[in-house]
Structures are given as structure tokens and as C-alpha cells.
Amino acid sequence: MTVRGSARMRRVSSNGWRVPSYHCELAWLGDDQAVADVLVTIDGDRIASVDPSASPPADATRLRGLTVPGFANSHSHAFHRALRGRAQAGTGSFWTWREQMYEVAASLDPDRYRDLARAVFAEMVQAGISAVGEFHYLHHGPGGVPYDDHNAMGAALIAAATEAGLRITLLDTCYLQGGIDVELDETQRRFSDGDALAWATRASALQDAPTVRIGAAIHSVRAVDPAAIEVVAAWAGERGAPLHAHVSEQPAENEQSVAAFGRTPIQLLAERGAVSERFTAVHATHVTEDDLDALGGADSWCCLCPTTERDLADGIGPARAMRDAGAHLTLGSDSHAVIDLLEEARAVELDERLASGVRGSHDAPSLLRAATTHGHESLGWRDAGRIEPGALADLTTIALDTVRTAGGGPEHSIEMAVFAATAADVHHVVIGGRVVVSDGHHVSIDVAAELADALP
């Protein structure tokens, strides 16, 4: 499989224009109901004030529909977008899907990765996403040979996010073995730094910037041995950085972990210092009650990726039990079977209904919180994901007059947005005070054309 580059995608995008104030027809300010006629003023990249106002100033831009904080996509592998459509044909399992995914990985170099990620991140922006947690493990060239700049691939992702107009938390991922005591295969050699100290040296060369945070990730207990887990956890701890890990996505991972270490993946990660209030367990589909107690007790995050988990036949994560144990829920589009945080949000509740026979474990405001406030916090953006003075000025407006969302009335606008709207109903997006989506279109990128160009 090849991924084409394109000279015309080399242009640097403008990042949208600034507007001094918005008058929101309806705004979700974190409560159970939306508030009508809210005036939001902007100062630079921050929200200056939030006030109910029936008579806004003449220069305020009217936002019709429901305005919510920008969404946080807390778990992404940008290049997996190339599998959309292709991976849904035929039969198989997570493990056969992984073979297809490795084919795509093998075709990428920094230039192609930048083009592909720019288009995928622009798709996210158009879906109302203002920050992405990119779980990045494709570090090196063919055979595992580093590029001249050892962080060329990470730099490509950061540049792509900047051009697309959203913030990125680059979760630089340690990946050292093909399975517990299994050698790396040809593709996996590109993921590995050789050992954890080499990983730490390379990751330490990456730097935060106003729209960039550097975090760490442990790919999984399959790919990172216990001593290396300690090194990555210590690196993140020294920096106060987010630390993410794939956890218990498949029953086979649990079986292998228990057989090798006498512990579940969460128990092993906790024992080695990884589980804290900065830790996100991605998936956590097949966890025990003790695992949930460990995550909740540490004030950790659980990132559910329901559209990927159902696509890969992973199972349904115990979202209510996670929350009841004290863990906080976040959402990710992961493999990008679709990029639609509203679909991820409602899937948490709707999948739980199918699994439990009970309706209403997660109400619409709590699902929106997972998609916004919690997601940003888990990615190290504690000053985002809220419409309040001082927060980063991220506003995602969902149209309530489309064929999917018309009717229902303002008192049910949050439920309408979460349970019926799609990414296609996002018609206006502001990130860091800049307009990046207007009338449903990215202001500087033809997203569909760039996707078609960048994807095989």
C-alpha cells in the first residue's frame, strides 16, 4: 500500500480569524440544561467573560444552535484513518486488523505522515475537536533506523496539528517488544528505541509550546516490560506530564499478563508507579473490580473508544462501574472508524443499555463532560474544556435545525446534541479564539480533497 504525497499540501494554512464576541443562541455551561442568549467575549486565545445577555453588542457574532466547549479526542492514531472502509470488509479479529494497520505504518515517512495527519486532524477540527491526544509510536525509519532528526515523525504530527488548527498532546509512546518476551517483527522495529532509557532521551528532546503538550505513553504491558514501565512512569512523573497506556483491550492480554507476571495489566502498571491522577487507561474493556478500584482510588482516567471497540469486536467496557469506582471517563476515536465525538459519547450510554438492560446510566451532560472537560484535563489542558472566563476560547456549535436535530425545543437541546446530532451537524468551531470552521467547513483546508490525496 502506498500513501501519496502532494505538492499542493505543502502550503501552510492560515489559522482562521478572530472575533471579539459571540452571542450564543444556546450554550452549555456545565449544568443539566443549556442557557439561552449567552454573550461570550474573547481576549486573545482566552474567554474574557460569559454573561446572559438578551441585547448583545452590534459587533457580536450570532451562533445559532447549541454551543459547547471544544471536544477533546483523547485517543488517536492518525494513520489508522487509512483503514476506514478497508478494515470493515470481511471477517477477522483485532489481531487480523493489526496486520492491515502494520501495512499502512510501513508505507509512511515523515512527509507522507505530515500530509496524512494534517488531513485527519482537519477532519477532527471540522467535527468540533479542539485538542487531540496523539498516541504516537511510529518513531523510526524502515528497519528501525532513526531519521536524522530522531523525532522527525513526532515533529510531523505537531506540524500537522498546527496547520489543521487544533492543539495536540503528543503522547510519545514507548514500545520495545512484539509481545511479552517476543521479538519485534519488521514493522515493530520502527516503533522501538531499543530500551527505555533511549526512549526517554529521545522524548526529552520534544518540547511544549503554546498549542503543544508533550506526554508519555506505555504502549501496553505486552510491548513494554516491567522495568521499562518504571522508567516511563518516572519520566512522566518528573514532568507532571500525562501518561497513557492501552489496557486490557483484549482478554488475551490479561491472560498473558497474569501468566507472565501473576498480575493483571492494571495491577502491574500500578505496582510500577504508572497509575496516578495523570494516568489514562485506554479501553480498559476487560478489567476486574480490583483494577477499577485501583484506577478510581488514584483519581485516574478511563478513555473509552466505543466506535473502535465495536469495530474490532473488543467488547463493551464497564463505563458505569468505572465511574462508580471513582475513575473519570474520556473519549477517543482511536482507529478513526469514524471521527465523531458525539457518536462516541452516546455509544457509552447506548452500549451500556445493551449490556445491562438498564437505561440512563450516563445522562447527556455527563457524556458531554467526558467529551470536553474531562478529555482536556486528561491531556494536560486543565484550562480548556469549559465555557468560563479565563479558559482557552474553544467553542463548538452544533446546529439544531438540520434534518437530524430539528424540533425538540431548547430544554432538550443537550439530549438532542448528544443522542441525535453527528459531526456533520457541527457548523462553527473556534479554537484558541480563532475561527477554524465556518458554515460547516474548515476555513483553510479542503478536508475531503486532502483526505483523498493523502490516503490510499
Nearer to Zn ion, 102 or 147 (CB): 102
Binding track over 310-349 against Zn ion, x by CB under 5 A: ------------------------x---------------
Which residue among 75, 77, 283, 328 is the active-site one?
Answer: 283
**Residue 8 in 3-state DSSP?**
helix
CA atoms within 13 A on the CB side of 133: 36
Which residues on adjacent β-strands are paired with residue 21? 41
| CA pair distance 395, 40, nearest whole angstrom | 10
| CA pair distance 346, 333, nearest whole angstrom | 13
Contact 194, 228 (CB under 8 A): no
For 308, the grid coordinates are 473502535
Nearer to Zn ion, 314 or 334 (CB): 334
Residue matched to cell numbers 459587533? 59
As measured in angstroms, the least distance from the Cβ of 284 to Zn ion is: 12
As measured in angstroms, the least distance from the Cβ of 305 to Zn ion is: 7
Contact 375, 345 (CB under 8 A): no
As measured in angstroms, the least distance from the Cβ of 219 to Zn ion is: 9
Residue with smallest beta-carbon separation from Zn ion: 334
Which residue among 225, 291, 334, 351 is the active-site one?
Answer: 334
As measured in angstroms, the least distance from the Cβ of 332 to Zn ion is: 8
- Residue 409 Rama label (left phi>0; alpha psi -120 to 50; beta): left
- CA quadruple 156, 377, 304, 176: dihedral positive or negative? positive
> Total residues contacting Zn ion (rule CB under 5 A)?
1
Q: Is 283 a catalytic residue?
A: yes
**CA-CA-CA-CA dihedral for 187, 192, 194, 197, to nearest 10:** 180
Nearer to Zn ion, 27 or 221 (CB): 221
Contact 61, 21 (CB under 8 A): yes
Nearer to Zn ion, 115 or 334 (CB): 334
| CA pair distance 84, 65, nearest whole angstrom | 30
**Residue 269 in 3-state DSSP?**
helix
Contact 225, 176 (CB under 8 A): yes
For 317, the grid coordinates are 467496557
| CA pair distance 71, 374, nearest whole angstrom | 10
Nearer to Zn ion, 15 or 333 (CB): 333
Nearer to Zn ion, 225 or 334 (CB): 334
As measured in angstroms, the least distance from the Cβ of 282 to Zn ion is: 6
- Tell me the DSSP string of 289-310: HHHHHHHHHTT-EEEE-HHHHH
Q: Which of 88, 85, 114 shows the shortest CA–CA distance to 13?
A: 114
Chain centre to alpha carbon of residue 239: 21
Q: Amino acid identity of 91?
A: T
As measured in angstroms, the least distance from the Cβ of 309 to Zn ion is: 10
Nearer to Zn ion, 15 or 257 (CB): 257
As measured in angstroms, the least distance from the Cβ of 173 to Zn ion is: 9
As measured in angstroms, the least distance from the Cβ of 417 to Zn ion is: 26
| CA pair distance 276, 218, nearest whole angstrom | 14
Nearer to Zn ion, 280 or 366 (CB): 280
Contact 168, 157 (CB under 8 A): yes
Catalytic residues: 283, 334
- Interface residue list for Zn ion (CB under 5 A): 334
